[in-house]
Amino acid sequence: MGAGNDPHGLSLIRGTPSGPVEGMQVGGVQRFLGIPYAAAPVGVNRFALPTLPEPWTDPLPATAHGPTAWQLPYTGALARLLPTKDIPGDGCLNVNVYAPDKHSPVPRPVLVWIHGGSLQHGANSLEGYDGTAFARDAVVFVAANYRLGAEGFSVLEDAPLNLGLADVIAALEWVKANIASFGGDPGQVTVMGHSAGGSLVAALLAHPRAASLVSRAIIQSAPLSAQPVNRARRMTQKIATDLGIGATREEFAARTPAELLASLQRVSTGAGPLEGGSSHALAIDGQLVPEDPLAAMLAGAGKQVPLLIGTTSEEARLWLVPSGRAEKITKVHLALARRKARIPHAAQKLFARNRPGAGPGELLGALATDKLLRVPMYKLADTRHYAGAQTQVYEFAWHSPVEELGAAHGTELPFVFDNLATADAIGLVGTAAPQSLASAMHEAWVCFATMGIAEWPTWDMRRPVKTFNGLANKVVLSPREDEADSLG
């Protein structure tokens, strides 16, 4: 350890099997940014499983964020709410490490963050994913990038499937091999994912190697299933048709990432998760995702891993309200969507009775939230309870005033990360978000990562749900159980 050139920080050197890295100690937190955990996915490594990076001898600068995965920015109303980071370079398979600056004779617990973004957006360098608050609270925080879109989730005839998931596994293997150098305990690793990142965590839990990679898991607002190959390949085929090429590794690799992104932009319908339009998806295959993750977990996969899982109370508002689409949904649209999703009419009547004055758009959002997220979550929690697996369930119910989002998808993240003052957070939850709620929610996540259990009761047949709303933050028994059961 020696003094660096930055007058506001101290230069730090840490060894890894690939070579030394040079980070910075700033504000009581050690930061090592952009460390490659796998070789750049270019050339012979494109559309291939991740491999170890080439070793180096001189200290690798790790004081600035590394390249991001190739991606398009959000469009429409989402562009106002969800930021995009674009750092050029080939080495997108990198991790950021935030560690406490105080020496501890006991290794620290580790929390590994897998960002969301529909498998097409996101980066570990987003301001909202800064791990300073976790390091401040004695947790070694790691945020990983993984391949997105066509680069990470194409279904090609002669290439491995689910490469983005393979990247996440490689990042976790890097953590196991290297985190002790940063003060972390490789035997106490919690993996946390939101939205699409949570779907990747679900796939990890369903994998036979889950217990060897992670000790605990957190899934936030995530679908728990993967798609059959014939459905998962739809976006790949659309891109191939648009470019006039075959859906093969050779022909996709002959196109630059920019060309594939331009094609994706042309063929994307703009449909969100409520419409079920074509998008990149996890595919059920014989290797990384041998069966549907939810089915595997219902059969007992991952039961040895304690799980913290939850949703926001108004997930669908992110896609319906800022765009103005909620106001355009009629009773006819609601009826058609309900039938397509095989939701009983009695369930719609129950939801309407519980929401006096709600319009068709609000009812569709509530039905979709429960059908896609809450019902599978409750079913999994019930099954894990019967199997003796520890599960804790939460719901985030604080209402963001920004564009009338309410408790929409993603609004819990600034509270989990306890970074309400960042521009990313302000853009999503405004300037008056309650710090007391951030402190409570962040503390619960730290507690789970540190001790393997948060402060509220584990799931049983009473169905206890910790509700974070900025007021009492109470544990509620069986919240809206009648609604979930009416759909399930």
CA distance 84 to 423: 12
pLDDT at 470 over 90: no
Residue 143 or residue 474, greater confidence: 143
pLDDT at 6 over 60: no
pLDDT at 250 over 60: yes
Q: Which residue has the tokens 């779907």?
A: 199
What is the pLDDT at residue 10? Answer: 85
Catalytic residue among 154, 195, 215, 263: 195
Catalytic residue among 409, 412, 442, 486: 409
Q: How confident is the model at residue 1 (pLDDT cuts 50, 70, 90)?
A: very low
What is the pLDDT at residue 7? Answer: 44
Q: Which two tokens stand for residue 277?
A: 């339009």
pLDDT by residue (tens digit) across 190-236?
Answer: 999 999 999 999 999 999 888 899 999 999 999 999 999 999 999 99
pLDDT at 266 over 80: yes
What is the pLDDT at residue 273? Answer: 57
pLDDT at 27 over 90: no
pLDDT at 4 over 50: no
What is the pLDDT at residue 488? Answer: 59
CA distance 223 to 194: 10
Count the Cβ atoms, other than its own, within 10 Å of residue 89: 11
Active site residue 333: no
Active site residue 195: yes
pLDDT by residue (tens digit) across 46-71?
Answer: 999 999 999 999 999 999 999 999 99
What is the pLDDT at residue 274? Answer: 55
CA distance 9 to 5: 8
CA distance 48 to 235: 19
What is the pLDDT at residue 291? Answer: 94
pLDDT by residue (tens digit) across 368-389?
Answer: 999 999 999 999 999 999 999 9
- Torsion-angle region of 388 (φ positive above 0: left; ψ -120 to 50: alpha; else: beta): left
Query: To the nearest whole number, what is the mean pLDDT of the chain?
Result: 93
pLDDT at 160 over 50: yes
What is the pLDDT at residue 271? Answer: 53
Count the Cβ atoms, other than its own, within 10 Å of residue 72: 16
Q: How many CA atoms lie within 13 A of 333 on its CB side?
A: 15
pLDDT at 355 over 70: yes
pLDDT by residue (tens digit) across 267-313?
Answer: 987 555 555 556 899 999 988 999 999 999 999 999 999 999 999 99
pLDDT by residue (tens digit) across 77-114?
Answer: 999 999 999 999 999 999 999 999 988 889 999 999 99
Residue 484 or residue 108, greater confidence: 108
Q: What pairing do the DSSP bridges indicate for beta strands 60-61 and 21-26?
A: parallel
Q: What is the 3-state secondary structure (H, E, C) of the chain?
A: CEECCCCCCEEEEECCCCCCEEEEEECCEEEEEEEECCCCCCHHHCCCCCCCCCCCCCCEECCCCCCCCCCCCCCHHHHHHCCCCCCCCCCCCEEEEEEECCCCCCCEEEEEEECCCCCCCCCCCCHHHCCHHHHHCCCEEEEECCCCHHHHHCCCCCCCCCHHHHHHHHHHHHHHHHHHHHCEEEEEEEEEEECHHHHHHHHHHHCCCHHHHCCEEEEECCCCCCECHHHHCHHHHHHHHHHCCCCCHHHHHCCCHHHHHHHHHHHCCCCCCCCCCCCCCCECCCCCCCCCHHHHHHCCCCCCCCEEEEEECCCCHHHHCCCCHHHHCCHHHHHHHHHHCCCCHHHHHHHHHHCCCCCHHHHHHHHHHHHHHHHHHHHHHHHHHHCCCCEEEEEECCCECHHHCECCCCCCHHHHCCCCCCHHHHHHHCCCCCHHHHHHHHHHHHHHHHHCCCCCCCCCCCCEEEEECCCCCCEEECCCHHHHHHHC
What is the pLDDT at residue 275? Answer: 53
Instruction: Report residue 241: phi and psi, to 5°.
Output: -65, -45
Q: How confident is the model at residue 471 (pLDDT cuts 50, 70, 90)?
A: confident
Residue 458 or residue 472, greater confidence: 458
Q: How confident is the model at residue 2 (pLDDT cuts 50, 70, 90)?
A: very low
* CA dist list (Å): 272 to 101, 109, 117, 280, 370: 42, 36, 12, 12, 16
What is the pLDDT at residue 262? Answer: 97
pLDDT by residue (tens digit) across 401-441?
Answer: 999 999 999 999 999 999 999 999 999 999 999 999 999 99
What is the largest distance, in Å, between two alpha-carbon atoms of the chain?
68
Q: How confident is the model at residue 475 (pLDDT cuts 50, 70, 90)?
A: confident
Active site residue 315: yes
Which residues partner with 98 through β-bridges?
Answer: 31, 141
What angle in degrees, to the nearest 10, is found between the helix axes of 163-178 and 196-206? 70
Average pLDDT on 331-347 reads 91
